[in-house]
Structure 1
Amino acid sequence: MAFMPQSVQDVQKAMESMIEDIQKKILIPKQKEAFLCCAKCCDTVSGPRDLESCIMQCSKPSADSQKVIQQALGDFQERFQRAAMRCQDEVKDALGFEPSHSDQARAQSKFDSCMELAGKEFLQKVPKLKADLLAALQRR
């Protein structure tokens, strides 16, 4: 298993915590609202088409919220992956054609340092990401 710098692990933990918090504060209440709305559809509509339409309408806010979250998390992950690729490129540029073991060890150390810095940078972005997501979801 590859070494994962502490700051990268910290980003992962912060993201997991953020997602859990958003689920508790926003998603679960929206899902509950959608289920209750769907139950009312069974009592108030006159036919199968109306029922399907009513259920789709009830589920839309929850589905839209999921899309917002998936988009934001996907964008964040892509940016983090680009930072990792930048670290890889820096190491590749520093290595020669047939690197010695010591060159490879230095390159690995350089990569680890670069990833540690990237992790610290992205860890600082998590609170804004959470605030932006909460604001976007509360408007829905």
Structure 2
Amino acid sequence: MAFMPQSVQDVQKAVETMIEDIQKKILIPKQKEAFLCCAKCCDTASGPRDLESCIMHCSKPSADSQKVIQQALGDFQERFQRAAMRCQDEVKDALGFEPSHSDQARAQSKFDSCMELAGKEFLQKVPKLKADLLAALQRR
């Protein structure tokens, strides 16, 4: 397994913590509402089509919230991957044809430093990501 800079690990942990918090504050209550609404559908539906329509209506807010989260996390991950690719490109540009072991070691060190900086940069973006997600989810 390759070395992962501490700041990259910190980003991963911060995003996981953010997701857990959003699940507790927003998603689980919305899922509870959806399940209770679906249970009422079973009591009030006049037939199979009416039941299906009612259940779809009840499930929509929860499903929409999941989509918002998936989109935001996907965008964040893509941006982080682009930063990693930029680090990789910088290292490739610095290496010559048939690099020596010391050149490779320097390149690895340069890559690790670049990724450490990228991790620090993206760690600072997590609070805004969370605030934006909470704002978007509370509007739904």
Find the counterpart in structure 1 of residue 48 from structure 2. 48
Could you tell me how far 1:126 is from its partner in structure 2? 0.1
Deviations 1:4-38 (A, max 9, x none): 00000000000000000000000000000000000
What is the distance in 2 between the residues matched to 1:83 and 1:136? 26
| Partners of 2:94 and 2:41 in 1: CA distance | 64
Deviations 1:70-106 (A, max 9, x none): 0000000000000000000000000000100000000
**CA apart distance, 1:45:** 1.1
In structure 1, runs of 5+ residues without a counterpart are none
SS in 1 for 2:92: helix
Moved over 3 A (4+): none
Q: Distance in 1 between matches of 2:45 and 2:93?
A: 66
Shift of 1:66: 0.1
Q: CA deviation at 1:136?
A: 0.2
Residue equivalent to 1:19: 19
Q: Distance in 1 between matches of 2:122 and 2:46?
A: 52
| Count of aligned residue pairs for this structure pair | 140
Per the alignment, residue 105 of structure 1 pairs with 105
Q: Percent identity?
A: 97
SS of residue matched to 1:9: helix
CA distance in 2, matches of 1:13, 1:43: 43
Aligned-pair RMSD on alpha carbons? 0.2
TM-score for the superposition, normalised by structure 1: 1.00
Give CA deviations for 1:98-120 in whole Å, capped at 9, x if unaligned: 10000000000000000000000
Gaps of 5+ in 2: none
Give the TM-score, by structure 2 length. 1.00
Cα distance in 2 between the residues matched to 1:97 and 1:128: 42
**Tell me, what secondary structure is at the counterpart of 1:16?**
helix
Match of 2:72 in 1: 72
